[in-house]
Amino acid sequence: MAREGGTQRARAPGLAALRSALPPATEAIVAEYERHLGGERGLSPHTLRAYLGDAVSLLARFHGVDSAASAGDDATGPDQERVPDDADLTGLDIGEIRGWLSAQHAAGISRATLSRRTASVRTFTAWAHRAGHLDTDPGVRVLAPRPHRTLPAVLSAEQAGTMMCASGIAAAERDPVALRDNAILETLYATGIRVAELCGLGLDDIDFSVRLLRVLGKGGSERMVPFGEPAAKALRSWLDHGRPRLAADRGAAGAAHQGVRRVAGDAVFLGVRGGRIDQRAVRRIVHDAVDAVPGAADMGPHGLRHSAATHLLNGGADLRSVQELLGHATLATTQLYTHVTVERLKAIHDRTHPRA
């Protein structure tokens, strides 16, 4: 709510405002860091913005320009001490970092976000030390708060089967959109790939002879992911009977209206206007499909990823294999899915341990 009782709540300054308030010497360091993140590490635009925003937020507080950026030019006055243009990272220590984190905690930032921002700032200080902007790395002494990890909502195997059955019945009518939606659901559940990875699939990324998908994951990493016969049938039906019709119908409509995209080259999945499908459309498809399943928790594509991982582990897959299939950088991320295997582990223990 912008106004209440005749007053206006001050909004937190954005990244651009904070960055422009930094001393030129510090801003030059930020620009160097930005080039490092974008070029050398190959981060996605979203991750790059998060890393850069955390560094700028810390430096704005360190130089005392965060309040000025929040209030605008009116905050500067004769009594306000001006930060020298050549001010750099000299004096940035563990106390400054802890003060920044403490201020965010007082503002109500969640433990999970604080943990992420701690890791982000540690990345910045480590780089600044290597680049010669800091004599020592103060970030190594900062401990991240342990986030409260909530267990992901998953479908049971029976619920997943119910959803796929309903989707397959709709696809049997050979409506191109129903064929596409069924192929999307089968592919997401069969492979556990991320929604961005699904949207980025090209026709050459599918090898039906060995039932493998070539997936481009986070950080540009590539991996091969297997899929089963139901997904193969759904994909073939979509590609043979649905995609050509949707591309032709929407392509003809697009030719008559400027601004409407034509079919997006080799994209596997198309939107209703003939272009490569976007993530919002896929999320809507999944939400609608899950909503029709009795007793199922509301979830999007990531919920199907959680479900796929959980069902693999329940079926006897080892953590390392699931980690590779999902494209997790660390095994700790994959271990989150083991919460639903407790009953299975108990059964194994009871059956195999001599003192069970």
Of 285 and 257, more confident: 285
Q: What is the pLDDT of residue 37?
A: 87
Count Cα atoms within 13 angstroms, Cβ side, for 164: 20
In this structure, the answer to whether residues 125 and 163 fall within a common structural domain is no
Maximum mean pLDDT: which of 33-47, 95-109, 121-135, 137-151: 121-135
Place of tokens 């409260």: 148
Triad 96, 330, 304: Cα angle to 5°: 110
Domain assignment present for 336: no
Rounded-to-integer distance, Cα 314 and Cα 311, Å: 5
* Phi/psi at 8 (5° precision): -115, 130
Query: For residue 59, what is the DSSP state?
Result: H
Structural domains of the chain, count: 2
Q: Give me the pLDDT at residue 167, please.
A: 96
Active site residues: 194, 218, 302, 305, 328, 337
Are residues 23 and 62 in contact, defined by beta-carbon separation less than 8 angstroms? no
Whether residue 194 is found in the same domain as residue 291: yes
Q: Which of 280, 287, 308, 309 is nearest to 195 (CA)?
A: 280
User: Which CATH number belongs to the domain containing residue 177 in this structure?
Assistant: 1.10.443.10
Dmax over CA atoms of the chain, in Å, equals 80
Assess if residue 269 is contained within a domain. yes
Report angle CA 321, 322, 324 to the nearest 5 degrees. Answer: 65
Is residue 324 domain-resident? no
- pTM confidence score: 0.61
* One domain for residues 208 and 290: yes
Q: Are 181 and 170 in contact (CB under 8 A)?
A: yes
The pair of structure tokens assigned to 14 is 């954005």
- What is the C-alpha separation between 94 and 193, in angstroms, rounded? 39
Q: What is the mean pLDDT of residues 265-282?
A: 91
**How many whole angstroms separate alpha carbon 233 and alpha carbon 100?**
54
Read off the tokens for 291.
């909503």
Containing domain of residue 42, as a range? 10-141
Do the domain assignments include residue 80?
A: yes
> Comparing C-alpha atoms, which of 195, 228, 214, 199 is closest to residue 311?
228
In this structure, the answer to whether residues 134 and 263 fall within a common structural domain is no
Instruction: With a cut of 80, say whether residue 43 has pLDDT above it.
Output: no
Label residue 221 by pLDDT band (50, 70, 90): confident
HSE toward the beta carbon, residue 194, CA cutoff 13 A: 12
Q: What is the pLDDT of residue 8?
A: 38
Last residue of a domain, one of 251, 267, 301: 301
Say whether both 103 and 186 belong to one domain: no
> Are 126 and 232 part of one and the same domain?
no
Q: Answer yes or no: is pLDDT of 291 > 90.
A: yes
Instruction: Give the integer Cα–Cα distance in Å for 140 and 177.
Output: 52
What's residue 5's pLDDT? 39
The 10 Å Cβ neighbour count of residue 35 is 10
* pLDDT band at residue 171 under the 50/70/90 scheme: very high
Q: Does 265 fall in a domain?
A: yes
Q: Across residues 16-20, what is the average pLDDT? A: 89
In a domain? residue 326? no
Residues 116 and 220 in one domain: no
Residues 126 and 188 in one domain: no
Residue at 294 is within a domain: yes
The pLDDT of residue 259 is above 70: no
Q: Is residue 175 part of a domain?
A: yes
For 51, counting Cβ atoms within 10 Å of its Cβ (0-12 exposed, 13-18 middle, 19+ buried), the class is buried
Residue 342 pLDDT > 90? no
Please check whether residues 49 and 110 belong to one and the same domain.
yes
Same domain flag for 68 and 191 = no
Same domain, yes or no: 178 and 110 = no
Q: 3-4 and 7-8 as β-strands: parallel, antiparallel, unpaired?
A: antiparallel
Q: Is the pLDDT of residue 284 over 50?
A: yes
Q: Which two tokens stand for residue 339?
A: 């919460």
Same structural domain, 66 and 188: no
What pLDDT score does 281 carry? 96
Give CA–CA dist 196/217, Å, rounded. 8
Domain endpoint, select from 80, 114, 141:
141
Mean pLDDT score of the chain, rounded to an integer? 82
Q: Which long-range contacts (CB under 8 A, 24 or more apart) does 206-214 make?
A: 206/235, 206/268, 208/232, 208/235, 208/236, 213/187
